[in-house]
Amino acid sequence: MTATAWQPDGLGPNLVVHADNSEFLPTLPDGAFTMIYVDPPFNTGRVQSRQQTTTVRNADGGGDRVGFGGRSYDTIKGALHSYDDAFTDYWSFLEPRLAEAWRLLAEDGTLYLHLDYREVHYAKVMLDAIFGRECFLNEIIWAYDYGARAKSRWPAKHDNILVYVKNPKKYHFDSAEVDREPYMAPGLVTAEKRERGKLPTDVWWHTIVSPTGKEKTGYPTQKPEGLLRRAVTASSREGDWVLDFFAGSGTLGAVAAKLGRRFVCVDQNPQAIDIMATRLGHVATVVGRPAAGPVETPVVEPVETPAVELVETPAPLFDS
């Protein structure tokens, strides 16, 4: 990918860019985007090398745990070192990219960072440092309902989306544009209110991308358009530029095009670029697409939860 002379003015084309975002983002001008949505790969290294704890019998009773039958044990922490390494690597990967997101946001701009419950607390601390605590707007919970249910703890059925604004005095947020939800107890409100529905809160119930629906692209980590539609309508206006630099199947671009926003979608995975070329090629210029060559083994990101199995009817309050 060569540096572009891309400017967010005039009627420049929407872009789908094949590049490592750490190389491409520095070519973009400051303050160019009203909204940035990113859904980075999860910290899979960390998940894969969990801390291993082994206990051994302490003969003289001086250990730090008391086990079954009152016996005393020492605790040996096994793979903590590699756990720490993976963790550090992940955050040193993400942090400079989030700092770029801050630079690229306009004064009235907003960042949506999509993570899961294992990462979100660390990311909150990191974004507080990059943006400032006063720039934290929301933590959105995307609640869904599919797959098996753990019996040994509360089954985790949500993702977390952190929302930060560049300037808490100037940010754009238009709740009047956002789709509304049905009241839970419609009998308790007037017909007029029932008809209008109510404003969504920070908990968004939404089905996953249906394995048989028309939205499905085949990309393993594809997110539903309904989620992104809410974020884009609230945090940008028609004609504004929006950016996703972990774009995958290009869900942000698809929503932006339908809502009259202009977009830049970046991904380093050739399969993602192929899918985006099909999904967005009619409304965007595709830059740096690798020439068709020998078929490579597809790079499929590990997914920590089954992304396509609906085992029971979810209870969404709205559908995409």
List contacts with ligand SAM (CB under 6 A).
Answer: 20-22, 39-41, 219, 221-223, 246, 248-249, 251, 266-269, 272
Q: Which residue number has the CB closest to ligand SAM?
A: 248
Region of residue 161 (phi > 0: left; psi between -120 and 50: alpha; otherwise: beta) = beta
Of 97 and 194, nearer to ligand SAM (C-beta) is: 97
Of 34 and 222, nearer to ligand SAM (C-beta) is: 222
User: Least distance from C-beta 222 to ligand SAM, angstroms?
Assistant: 4
Q: How many CB atoms lie within 10 A of CB 63?
A: 17
User: Least distance from C-beta 22 to ligand SAM, angstroms?
Assistant: 6
User: Least distance from C-beta 289 to ligand SAM, angstroms?
Assistant: 14
User: Least distance from C-beta 4 to ligand SAM, angstroms?
Assistant: 15
Of 108 and 247, nearer to ligand SAM (C-beta) is: 247
User: Least distance from C-beta 266 to ligand SAM, angstroms?
Assistant: 6
Of 157 and 194, nearer to ligand SAM (C-beta) is: 157
User: Least distance from C-beta 159 to ligand SAM, angstroms?
Assistant: 10
Sign of CA dihedral 309, 312, 318, 319: positive
User: Least distance from C-beta 283 to ligand SAM, angstroms?
Assistant: 17
Of 147 and 270, nearer to ligand SAM (C-beta) is: 270
Of 108 and 275, nearer to ligand SAM (C-beta) is: 275
User: Least distance from C-beta 41 to ligand SAM, angstroms?
Assistant: 5
Of 43 and 268, nearer to ligand SAM (C-beta) is: 268
Of 231 and 266, nearer to ligand SAM (C-beta) is: 266
Question: What does residue 302 show for φ and ψ, rounded to 5 degrees?
Answer: -65, 135
